[in-house]
Amino acid sequence: LLDEINIALRYDYIDIAEVIAFLREEKPPMTHVVLTGRNAKEALIEIADLATEMELLKHPFRSGVKAQAGVEF
pLDDT 10s digits, 4-62: 999 999 999 999 999 999 999 999 999 999 999 999 999 999 999 999 988 889 988 88
CA–CA–CA angle 27, 30, 33 (5° rounding): 55
Query: Given this model, what pLDDT does residue 32 score?
Result: 95
pTM of the model: 0.74
pLDDT beyond 90 at 72? no
Residues 6+ apart with CB under 8 A from 44: 6, 9, 16, 19, 20, 35
Coil, helix or strand for 53?
A: coil
C-beta separation of 34 from 2 below 8 A: yes
